[in-house]
């Protein structure tokens, strides 16, 4: 099946939680609990060689050696692999496997489920070794079943993201297991798939790396130990039309264990995160125990309703009690907490390993304690988490000279995709998605960091779609660097990252409509005309060249697009109360919008509302009358038709934002221009 590279620009809309992890991540963001910047950006700039001005001859694809990330000295990377840990998962023939001699001491098993019209499920079991026997509570377990589980952790393939296949709604399971060996090492198994037999693919996490198990053997071994889903409120169903013997899935992001850095804490691992504030000498943790889809109080996710205590040990095993507080929310069933723990020191680049214990209550009246360790390295702000997508990079580099050439001075940091795995032949049959490269260049007398995203497809081991070349990238950077907008931004925010996206017209192979959520957004922009601002339909006859400043890597809502000799504002979204744009946020606020010393808007967003452009303005809810009146006065003075009927979100219809000749932004009326 083929799909055109096309994406409709949207003003936001309701984010539907496809999986429990995604819903919890959304709650953390909405509550102001920031996800770690390590997954999205980089550190400050240092002097680096400029981007070459001449296009070199591409290196033969089969001889290219991917770039060492350390050679991009404008960037800072953190690889979560601990080189001192044992190699428990190693390559055997064409796949990886867990050492079959590894001895299991303990297995924690969590099964959670949520869906439509039925109470959520929380099943927590612990398998514990007792001399040469194993038990789950009072039940004796055949050691052969444990050995079967270890043996099933084989046939693994490396990946850089959690993988999931979900093909129907209202049925959202999550399996989370942690195996602890007699040597103290821990291996995590995760699945939240419904589209494939055995709940495949299963994700295996160990020592900062992720592996995928694509067939049903691992799910069967887990079911033999802890039970199957036969008692679930909704039976598993399978979509028709798939090829027999294949597993379909898409990428979903990093596991929390790698994003934040921890082991253990299994009952809360899908709703847990933390940050270390080196200046305040504090560790701030976040736990989301329960919420509902859309905040409406129905389709409840999670069973944790109370947080009794949190403590960490920062020195010589002495526990320190943390201050726990509830996080407020408009969701009537939400239960979320923040805890703050004092630290004695937090020097930059130091390695930490803090034992932690959390005690919580459930909606069934149970009190559960869970333990773990918070582990990592205190890196500079915006350090990029380095878990390379080798499963995609190696194929692209081997089969495309253009990719191989780009990888000589770029790092492929991420790939988002949907795919079909051929179980019989042990290979990817079809992969379609988005690759993100990181690089560095010179704009004027400044060295800048940039990301560039581009769509790709691989079919039967061959590159079926890739259009980005070094020449095209250099030309795009040169065009953007010459803009008054860009010069204005970098004159006042020299450390901001330039985000680029590139796609030419054409048809890209894809899986079809089997999955609820694909791994990456389709590349394409559709914007209606606004006065003298032209309509944009890209790519097609025109190449898509979009960009933004400090917005992130993935193609979700670029700020700007090059359209002929004009720069068109596309999906500009700003959060004025929190500068997430590395110092560039205020430079992107249209010049008529000036709140002075008062409190700013919560959110400003340009979008396509039912075929016409509009700007939405969100304010805090509740907001004091003086602030509300001041912000309303700003909107009333703008060109366009203001609509204040929707409580804390106002709409300015028939208006857009354009780039002025001096590089500033301004609000314009579509009926006047």
Residues 536-567: tens digit of each pLDDT: 888 877 899 999 999 888 777 789 999 988 99
pLDDT at 508: 80
Whether 38 has a pLDDT exceeding 70, the answer reads no
pLDDT at 16: 31
Q: 428 lies in a domain? A: no
Mean pLDDT of 234-263: 75
If one compares 398 and 170, the residue with the highest pLDDT of the two is 398
- Does residue 563 have a cis bond before it (omega within 30 degrees)? no
Mean pLDDT of 431-439: 94
Q: 182 lies in a domain? A: yes
pTM attached to this predicted model: 0.86
Q: Which of 184-188, 290-294, 419-423, 424-428 has the lowest mean pLDDT?
A: 290-294
CA distance 421 to 419: 6
Q: 448 lies in a domain? A: no
pLDDT at 295: 67
Whether 474 has a pLDDT exceeding 50, the answer reads yes
Q: 562 lies in a domain? A: no
Return phi, psi of residue 97, to 5°. -150, 155
DSSP assignments along 451-518, one per residue: EEEEEEEEETTEEEE----HHHHHHHHHHHHTSHHHHHHHHH-TTPPEEEEEE-SSEEE---S--SS-
Indicate the number of domains in the chain.
Answer: 1
Please enumerate in sequence order all residues whose Cβ is within 8 A of that of 636, keeping only pairs 6 or more positions apart, or say none: 642
Which of the 8 DSSP states describes residue 198?
G
pLDDT at 555: 78
Where residue 615 falls among pLDDT bands split at 50, 70, 90? very high
Q: What domain range includes position 130?
A: 89-377
How crowded is residue 30: how many other Cβ atoms within 10 Å of its Cβ? 14
Q: 644 lies in a domain? A: no
pLDDT tens column, 593-602: 999 999 999 9
pLDDT at 297: 66
Burial 138-164 (b: 16+ CB within 10 A, else e): eeebeeeebebbbebbbbbbbbbbbbb
Tokens of 371: 């333990």
pLDDT at 544: 93
If one compares 505 and 139, the residue with the highest pLDDT of the two is 139
If one compares 665 and 92, the residue with the highest pLDDT of the two is 665
Average pLDDT of the chain to the nearest whole number? 84
Q: Residue ranges of the alpha helices (H) in 303-462?
A: 390-399, 401-406
Q: 642 lies in a domain? A: no
Where residue 10 falls among pLDDT bands split at 50, 70, 90? very low
pLDDT tens column, 338-393: 999 999 999 999 999 999 999 999 888 889 899 999 999 999 877 899 999 999 99
CA distance 121 to 363: 10
Whether 8 has a pLDDT exceeding 80, the answer reads no
Tokens of 169: 């709604």
pLDDT at 538: 86
pLDDT at 39: 32
CA distance 160 to 261: 16
Quickly tell me which residue has 């495949």 as its tokens: 200
- Does residue 539 have a cis bond before it (omega within 30 degrees)? yes
pLDDT at 18: 37
Q: Which of 7-16, 252-261, 335-344, 505-514 has the lowest mean pLDDT?
A: 7-16
Q: 132 lies in a domain? A: yes
pLDDT at 519: 61
pLDDT at 457: 94
pLDDT at 381: 79
CA distance 560 to 501: 10
CA distance 153 to 164: 17
Which of the 8 DSSP states describes residue 266?
G
Whether 275 has a pLDDT exceeding 50, the answer reads yes
pLDDT at 444: 79
Q: 283 lies in a domain? A: yes
Query: Any idea of the CA torsion for 73, 79, 84, 89, to the nearest 10 degrees?
Result: -140
pLDDT at 273: 94
Mean pLDDT of 456-478: 95
Task: Return the HEC string of 44-93.
Answer: CCCCCCCCCCCCCCCCCHHHCCCCCHHHCCCCCEECCCCCCCCCCEEEEC
């Amino acid at each position: 099946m083929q799909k055109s590279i096309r994406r409709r620009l949207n003003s936001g809309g309701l984010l539907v939680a496809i999986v429990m992890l995604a819903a919890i991540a959304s709650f953390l963001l909405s509550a102001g609990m920031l996800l770690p910047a390590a997954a999205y950006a980089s550190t400050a700039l240092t002097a680096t060689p400029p981007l070459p001005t001449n296009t070199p001859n591409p290196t033969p694809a089969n001889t290219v050696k991917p770039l060492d990330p350390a050679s991009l000295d404008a960037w800072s990377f953190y690889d979560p692999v601990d080189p001192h840990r044992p190699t428990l998962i190693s390559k055997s023939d064409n796949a990886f496997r867990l050492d079959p001699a590894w001895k299991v001491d303990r297995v924690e098993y969590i099964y959670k489920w949520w869906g439509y019209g039925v109470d959520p499920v929380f099943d927590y079991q612990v398998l514990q070794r007792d001399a040469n026997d194993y038990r789950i509570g009072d039940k004796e377990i055949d050691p052969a079943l444990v050995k079967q589980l270890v043996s099933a952790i084989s046939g693994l393939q490396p990946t850089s993201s959690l993988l999931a296949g979900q093909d129907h709604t209202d049925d959202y399971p999550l399996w989370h297991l942690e195996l602890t060996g007699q040597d103290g090492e821990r291996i995590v198994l995760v699945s939240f798939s419904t589209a494939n037999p055995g709940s495949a693919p299963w994700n295996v996490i160990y020592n900062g790396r992720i592996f995928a198990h694509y067939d049903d053997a691992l799910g069967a071994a887990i079911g033999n130990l802890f039970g199957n889903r036969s008692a679930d409120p909704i039976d598993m169903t399978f979509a028709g039309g798939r090829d027999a013997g294949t597993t379909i899935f898409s990428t979903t992001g990093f596991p929390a264990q790698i994003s934040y850095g921890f082991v253990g804490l299994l009952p809360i691992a899908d709703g847990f995160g933390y940050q270390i504030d080196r200046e305040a000498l504090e560790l701030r943790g976040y736990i989301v125990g329960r919420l509902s889809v859309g905040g409406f109080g129905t389709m409840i996710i999670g069973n944790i309703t109370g947080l009794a205590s949190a403590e960490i040990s920062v020195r010589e095993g002495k526990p320190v009690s943390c201050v726990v507080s509830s996080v407020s929310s408009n969701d009537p069933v939400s239960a979320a907490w923040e805890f703050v723990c004092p630290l004695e020191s937090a020097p930059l680049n130091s390695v930490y390993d803090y034992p932690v214990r959390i005690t919580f209550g459930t909606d069934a009246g149970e009190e559960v304690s869970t333990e773990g360790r918070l582990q990592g390295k205190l890196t500079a702000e915006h350090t990029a988490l380095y878990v390379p997508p080798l499963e995609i990079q190696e194929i692209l580099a081997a089969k495309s000279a253009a990719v191989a050439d780009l990888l000589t001075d770029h790092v492929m940091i991420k790939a988002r995709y949907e795919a079909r795995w051929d179980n019989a032949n042990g290979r990817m049959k079809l992969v379609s998605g988005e690759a993100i490269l990181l690089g560095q260049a010179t704009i004027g007398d400044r060295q800048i960091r940039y990301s560039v995203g581009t769509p790709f497809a691989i079919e039967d081991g061959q590159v079926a779609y890739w259009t980005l070349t070094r020449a095209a990238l250099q030309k795009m950077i040169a065009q953007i660097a010459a803009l008054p907008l860009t010069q204005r931004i970098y004159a006042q925010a020299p450390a901001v990252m330039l985000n680029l996206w590139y796609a030419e017209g054409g048809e890209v192979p894809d899986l079809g409509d089997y999955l609820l959520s694909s791994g990456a957004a389709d590349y394409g922009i559709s914007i209606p005309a606004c006065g003298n601002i032209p309509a944009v339909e890209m790519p097609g006859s025109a190449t898509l060249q979009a960009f933004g400043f400090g917005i992130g890597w993935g193609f979700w809502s670029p700020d700007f697009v090059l359209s002929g000799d004009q720069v068109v504002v596309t999906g500009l979204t700003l959060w004025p109360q929190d500068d997430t744009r590395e110092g560039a946020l205020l430079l992107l606020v249209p010049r008529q919008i000036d709140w002075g010393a008062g409190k700013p808007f919560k959110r400003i967003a340009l979008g396509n509302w039912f075929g016409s452009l509009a700007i939405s303005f969100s304010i805090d809810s509740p907001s004091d009358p003086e602030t509300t009146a001041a912000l309303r006065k700003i909107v009333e003075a703008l060109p366009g038709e203001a609509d204040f009927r929707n409580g804390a979100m106002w709409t300015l219809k028939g208006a857009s934002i354009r780039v002025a000749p001096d590089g500033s932004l301004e609000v314009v009326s579509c009926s006047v221009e």
